[in-house]
Structure 1
Amino acid sequence: MSPRSTRARLLAVLAAVATGLGVMSVVSSSPAAAVPVNQTWTVPANAAITVDGRGFGHGTGMSQYGALGAARQGLAYNEILRFYYPGVWAGTATGTISVRITADDDGDVIVERRGGLTLIDRGTGKKTPIPQDLGTGGWRLSYGGSDTTIVSYYANKKWNYWTRTQGEAVFYANGGEMTLHRKGGTAKYRGTLRATIPSPGSTRRDTVNAVTLEHYLRGVVPKEMPSSWTPAAVQAQSVAARTYAAQARTTPQTRTYDLCDTTSCQVYGGYSAEERGSNDAIDRTKGQILTNKGQEIAFTQFSSSNGGWTNAGSKPYLVAKQDPYDGNSSNKNHTWSVAITDRTIEAAWPQIGNLTSIAVTDRNGKGEWSGRVNSVTFRGSAGSVTVTGATVRSKLGLKSTWFNFRVAAR
């Protein structure tokens, strides 16, 4: 995930970190391995607490900084993929994918006028060229009652009715890019832009972009990894992202689209996000995906940095092992520290009163401090609370669940 997508992802759980790469945070792993530990810190009044940590994200599957480190050491993209997803087989995937454009959340679909723009009525299958002498301010698809869609154009400072479709309506530009108006500005997209009915009887319309898998990747890979990185790393990212999308397509998020365009899926910016370096990596790996020994499409989780140990996931090829590539000189997420106070924890869990001790009782047993945190108990003057490492990460804005505490009086 590129620094740009990192900032978007961090807004959901922590403050922006400009040097970081993002994490596919919503995809889940299997339950963490449990290794009991007894690590307790007494907390004096007005304590200064340092949280030391390793990695950024869930750490399952490919480390993006690790891929960079491996590429710098001369590994080819297929060797990088075999390291992070041991036991997978090569496969291929083609076809199209449908993506919900979440930034366009006003219930309408508005595109700028352009040559070759065509309207498709999904209810009847009819295709109608959009007139070029109308809609100097753009064209809009909006709710028209029942399952119909109103098509209107902007002129004379207002929206003007043009026609009504019998079902969902689609804009298509004969293979060209269309400029979509969305929250915060505009962006260009290939393929088609559809005003989708999210559920029967809904009065709103979601914007869905249907595009070929290869063109979809062109809008994903530069959002997930800087296109300027060593080519083998970007090629590995291309295969991982293609595989993730192809796997998601087998279990669509909803009946109207396969996956979203945010950090909850893969960050997708459409044609506007495309860059030459990532386009080249996508072309060089065209159609290539990973499979679980030729059976189902692999679940290719990845994250910014694993801190030196991959985290076991829900599939046999998502294993826990030491990673010699993650700690390269560019990786500012390999190790990190955050300064907080006792008041930070008291504000996060006010039911404990004044914090008196911290106890980590369960980790995954891999790496420094016995690895990633599974369970933490905070005790205070009014009570105690036991929470998961993931909850601590979210509440305190940490980069991962692989962390440890240092406590001192202020």
Structure 2
Amino acid sequence: MRSFPALARRTAVPLIAAAVALAGGSLAPAGAATGDSWKVPAQAWLTIKGHGYGHGHGMSQYGAEGAAREGLSAREIIDFYYPGTTWGTAKGPVSVLITADTDDDLVVVARPGLVLRDSAVEGRTVLPDNGASRWRIDVGGAGSDRVSFLKGGRWHRFSTLRGTGQLGAAGQPITLVTPSGTRAYRGWLQLAAPSGSSRARDTVNVLTLENYVRGVVPLEIPALWSPAAVQAQSIAARTYASYERAHPLGSTYQICDTSSCQVYGGYDAEHPAANDAVDATRRQALLADGEPAFTQFGASSGGWTSAGSVSYLTAREDPYDGWSGNPVHAWSLKLADTRLEQAWPALGNLQRITVTRRDGNGDWGGRVAAMTLVGSDGKVVVSGDTFRSVLGLRSTWLTFKVGQRSGARQVMAPRDATPDVLTTGTR
């Protein structure tokens, strides 16, 4: 059983399950120092109030819907959230790591028209319709990959490969079998070796960029939102994949299928309305200096986007994020002081919280950049991102209110660590 290393390119780029689960601005000033400090008595409640969901870089997905409801087109939405980029096109294949397939083989459901390709051999082989229920590529005893089929309750050898093996279905979806279930994908599924000497294998989906975006959009934004918002998501997703393709995450693939990159669910995730948005924006993408732009996006800016790693991910006031349907524009969470003491045991008993630096934008001085926790046994200096990650908070744009628990029995607040994705299932 393989476990994949953390894939952190997108770093909390996010969206939310919140939409389903809950049913021209100015440039940013430099990070601002702050003296915000809260004394924490023994047995305290901490009420954390915040804005937004995610890192805040680039497009707010709730903001995109708010903008669409005010009459902005997809291009106007994109131009607002990625100022300084130019319009271009993107096409060609993309290779996606399928992280759910962790068992170092590639198993697909048998169907008419299955085709096998060997990267070391010209042409392709149409697999026989021989009554098999499954076809498999795995690693043989000599280290070469082999092809087998399941029939009569046992596996039968079909051939040995000289190179990397791919299975496709002549343009039709092909159903992958993983330890957790089955899922259909467009294009080709291949079993690839990360290194020449390893018996470990990656399952990779190779398909056109347009078909890939079809499997992303309904998992990143509700497909039945305003067409302009869904079209804007299509453009951002296509551009993001193009950027990752130019900066691949692995030796056998270019992008992953989780929220560490952008969520991709293959053919099974597609939705007719999202497909319409993809078709309406076919090949449209953003460029920066002639190359694909790094179009990060997140669920909710909370009213201000935050500056990212490139010039076009600017901090600016976002007038579109606060529409009435956004449940995470403003939020609050109540937890016991012991939650922090358990997270940072070097503190002992928590006595004081001090925010030392914010980004300077919006309520309370903006997103927390740095803070100090002081306890009876010592102090801990943490970044806002670390504080958010450890406690599972929605964003770093937050402030505190401290109250006495008055000896009440501790109630642990649940971690709000849901990936920032706007939808789940047919997200």
Matched, 1:168 2:164: yes
- Counterpart in the other structure of 1:106: 103
Q: Secondary structure at the match of 2:45?
A: strand
TM-score (norm 2): 0.88
2:277 is matched with which residue: 281, 292, 303? 281
- Counterpart in the other structure of 1:152: 148
1:218 is matched with which residue: 211, 214, 226? 214
Q: Cα gap change, 1:344/1:41 in structure 2, threshold over 3 Å: closer, same or farther?
A: same
Which amino acid in structure 2 is aligned with residue 156 of structure 1? G
Q: CA deviation at 1:204?
A: 2.4
Whole-Å separation in 2 of the counterparts to 1:54 and 1:286: 34
Matched, 1:363 2:362: no
Which amino acid in structure 2 is aligned with residue 104 of structure 1? D
Whole-Å separation in 2 of the counterparts to 1:182 and 1:33: 48
Whole-Å separation in 2 of the counterparts to 1:326 and 1:18: 16
1:131 is matched with which residue: 128, 132, 142? 128
Structure 2: 5+ residue stretches without partners: 1-7, 22-28, 406-427
Whole-Å separation in 2 of the counterparts to 1:406 and 1:390: 20
Q: Deviations over 1:333-383 (max 9, x none)?
A: 100000011111101101110111110111101110100001111111111
Whole-Å separation in 2 of the counterparts to 1:69 and 1:183: 40
Q: CA deviation at 1:146?
A: 5.5
1:202 is matched with which residue: 192, 198, 201? 198
Q: CA deviation at 1:158?
A: 1.6
Q: CA deviation at 1:304?
A: 0.2
Whole-Å separation in 1 of the counterparts to 2:324 and 2:32: 31
CA contact 2:368–2:383 (8 Å) conserved in 1: yes
- Counterpart in the other structure of 1:325: 320
Whole-Å separation in 2 of the counterparts to 1:117 and 1:17: 37
Structure 2 matches for 1:44-55, cutoff 5 A?
44-55=41-52
CA contact 1:56–1:333 (8 Å) conserved in 2: yes
Which amino acid in structure 2 is aligned with residue 371 of structure 1? G
Whole-Å separation in 1 of the counterparts to 2:124 and 2:200: 23
Q: CA deviation at 1:34?
A: 2.3
1:40 is matched with which residue: 37, 40, 47? 37
Q: Secondary structure at the match of 2:402?
A: strand
Which amino acid in structure 2 is aligned with residue 188 of structure 1? A
Matched, 1:142 2:138: yes
- Counterpart in the other structure of 2:287: 291
TM-score (norm 1): 0.91
Report % sequence identity. Answer: 50
Q: Deviations over 1:210-232 (max 9, x none)?
A: 00000000000001111000000
CA contact 2:16–2:53 (8 Å) conserved in 1: no
Structure 1: 5+ residue stretches without partners: 1-8, 23-31
Matched, 1:374 2:369: yes
Which amino acid in structure 2 is aligned with residue 91 of structure 1? G
Matched, 1:77 2:100: no
Q: Secondary structure at the match of 2:216?
A: helix
- Counterpart in the other structure of 2:419: none
Whole-Å separation in 1 of the counterparts to 2:202 and 2:285: 29
Q: Cα gap change, 1:343/1:20 in structure 2, threshold over 3 Å: closer, same or farther?
A: farther
Q: Deviations over 1:190-224 (max 9, x none)?
A: 11010111111111221111000000000000011
Whole-Å separation in 2 of the counterparts to 1:251 and 1:344: 39
Which amino acid in structure 2 is aligned with residue 359 of structure 1? T
Q: CA deviation at 1:184?
A: 2.0
Whole-Å separation in 1 of the counterparts to 2:386 and 2:214: 34
Q: CA deviation at 1:183?
A: 3.1
Q: CA deviation at 1:77?
A: 0.4
2:403 is matched with which residue: 401, 405, 408? 408
Whole-Å separation in 2 of the counterparts to 1:17 and 1:348: 24
Q: Secondary structure at the match of 1:91?
A: strand
CA contact 2:202–2:252 (8 Å) conserved in 1: no
CA contact 1:176–1:190 (8 Å) conserved in 2: yes
Q: Secondary structure at the match of 1:235?
A: helix
Matched, 1:388 2:387: no
Whole-Å separation in 1 of the counterparts to 2:251 and 2:224: 37
- Counterpart in the other structure of 1:19: 18
- Counterpart in the other structure of 1:269: 265
Q: CA deviation at 1:61?
A: 0.4
1:90 is matched with which residue: 87, 90, 96? 87
CA contact 1:119–1:172 (8 Å) conserved in 2: yes
Q: Secondary structure at the match of 2:64?
A: helix
Q: CA deviation at 1:125?
A: 2.9
Q: How many corresponding residue pairs?
A: 388
Bigger CA drift: 377-386 or 176-185? 176-185
Which amino acid in structure 1 is aligned with residue 70 of structure 2? Q
CA contact 2:49–2:399 (8 Å) conserved in 1: yes
- Counterpart in the other structure of 2:176: 180
Q: CA deviation at 1:164?
A: 0.6
Q: CA deviation at 1:17?
A: 7.0
CA contact 1:93–1:288 (8 Å) conserved in 2: yes
1:61 is matched with which residue: 36, 58, 62? 58
Q: Secondary structure at the match of 1:38?
A: coil
Which amino acid in structure 1 is aligned with residue 33 of structure 2? P
Whole-Å separation in 1 of the counterparts to 2:390 and 2:288: 36
Q: Deviations over 1:42-95 (max 9, x none)?
A: 111101110001000000100000000000000000000011011211100111
Q: CA deviation at 1:409?
A: 1.1
Whole-Å separation in 1 of the counterparts to 2:19 and 2:375: 34
Q: Cα gap change, 1:145/1:199 in structure 2, threshold over 3 Å: closer, same or farther?
A: farther
- Counterpart in the other structure of 1:29: none
Bigger CA drift: 321-330 or 147-156? 147-156
Which amino acid in structure 2 is aligned with residue 64 of structure 1? Q
Whole-Å separation in 1 of the counterparts to 2:250 and 2:143: 18
Whole-Å separation in 2 of the counterparts to 1:323 and 1:21: 23
